[in-house]
Chain A
């Protein structure tokens, strides 16, 4: 029975990529939110601009 280490490596690598990718997405979203909050705090009356990230939809009222 051959071991197929390449398949094992591919599976673990892919999983790491997906999980890492989702984690990074969350971190980026967090950074953007913090930056947005800071900017909002500085200039209250400026028109809002949606962040350009392909993240989740930004709810609007």
Chain B
């Protein structure tokens, strides 16, 4: 009887260890980057697109709520259009994830904008802009 529990416990521990090992090493992609989207974009298909909001690309029309900006990842850029108010953390030089569809007219129609922030918590005095590489690393989820 005791042997049953020892063996059973060992089997469970083994399965859990495997699961955790696989979970940590698995490099799943949670969203596509602009380069990946450019490489194989299907018009009308839903994507999650993650990248950096390029400096100088943000245009917002408060009256019509038209939001235009460009997401980039260092190799490719994707123009994004959205209707609505952006979240507070959203801004140029920051990371963002947008949900929406690729339009046949050559832009990304976003239905939802989510600001993605890095896991750095900085006191005001050390407020240096997070490096581009660091942010991309965070965006890809490799920072775990």
Chain A positions within 8 Å of B, measured between CB atoms, are 1-2, 4
- For the complex, give the distance between the alpha carbons of A2 and B88 in Å: 8
The 4 A-B residue pairs whose C-beta atoms are closest, nearest first, are: A2-B88, A1-B88, A4-B88, A1-B89
Proximity bits, B88-126, A CB within 8 Å = 1, else 0: 110000000000000000000000000000000000000
Give the dominant DSSP class at A's interface. loop
Q: B33 CB to closest chain A CB, in angstroms? A: 26
- Write the nearest CB–CB distance from A35 to chain B, whole angstroms: 44
Separation in Å of the A57 CB from the closest CB of chain B? 31
Enumerate chain B residues within 8 angstroms of A4, measured Cβ to Cβ: 88
What's the dominant secondary structure at chain B's contact region?
loop
Which residues from chain B sit less than 8 Å from chain A, CB to CB? 88-89
| A–B Cβ pairs within 8 angstroms, 4 of them | A1-B88, A1-B89, A2-B88, A4-B88
A35 to B88, CA, bound (A): 54
Tell me which residues across on chain B come within 8 A of A1, comparing CB atoms.
88-89
Q: Which residues of B contact A2 (CB under 8 A)?
A: 88
Which chain A residues lie closer than 8 Å to B88 at the CB level? 1-2, 4
Bound-state CA distance A4–B88 (Å) is 10
In whole Å, how far is B122's beta carbon from the nearest beta carbon of chain A? 12
What's the Cα separation between A58 and B89 when bound, in Å? 50
B115–chain A nearest beta-carbon distance, Å: 11
**CB neighbours of B89 from chain A (8 A):** 1
**Docked pose: A1 CA to B88 CA in angstroms:** 7
Question: Nearest-CB distance from B90 to chain A (Å)?
Answer: 11
Q: Measured between C-beta atoms, what is the minimum distance from B134 to chain A in Å?
A: 19
